Amino acid sequence: MSAPRLCTTLACSIALATAGGIASLSYSSVPLLVSLAKRASVPDSLADLRALFSSGSHVFPQLASLAAALFASSAYSSAAASAARTGYGLAAGLTASILPFTVAVMLPAVNAQLIELDERVNKKKDAAREPSQDEVVTLLRKFGAYNAVRAALIGAGGVVGVWTAVTA
């Protein structure tokens, strides 16, 4: 197998496997945590969400970066102004787009609120009231929705990469 073909194969595999991993958090773990949060204490529910949030942050950005770099390598090794170069370039962009989405959208919307709720629970911050279970459940659902967007972005990159490999 040639090096460009190996890059393409790895890029598609990594992108699609990562999309599946991210989607599993949104469609399996989040509903489970929502049902548990309705019965657990607020501190326990926040700890579960914090663990879920950080588990993905240690793996998925690195995998997305690797897949994007491999797609970029495939684009670079393709003929100039070809459909393959355009397709692999698009796949690289879609795959890498989870990084700015995470930083610009997900961290301010989810992580900032998670920190604020955690500070209220642990009395690190003066608060008029303790956070409610409804606030935790809402945050879990928001995390699930934003995570699903990330899965769709990297999954679209993987699909474009596969399509390009098959048709170009």
Q: How far apart are CA 60 and CA 50, in angstroms?
A: 16
> Dihedral sign, CA of 123, 57, 111, 145?
negative
- Whether 136 contacts 37, CB under 8 Å: yes
User: pTM to 2 decimals?
Assistant: 0.88
Give pLDDT tens digits for 66-110: 999 999 999 999 998 899 999 999 999 999 999 999 999 999 998
pLDDT band at 22 (very low <50, low <70, confident <90, very high): very high
> Dihedral sign, CA of 106, 111, 113, 114?
positive
With vertex at residue 20, the alpha carbon angle to CA 15 and CA 23, rounded to the nearest 5 degrees, is: 120
> Dihedral sign, CA of 163, 23, 92, 67?
negative
% of the chain at pLDDT higher than 70: 97
Altogether, the residues listed in the chain come to a count of 168
> What tokens were used for 21?
């991993």
Q: Which residue has the higher pLDDT, 51 or 159?
A: 159
Average pLDDT estimate for 144-152 = 95
Q: Where are the domains of the chain?
A: 3-167
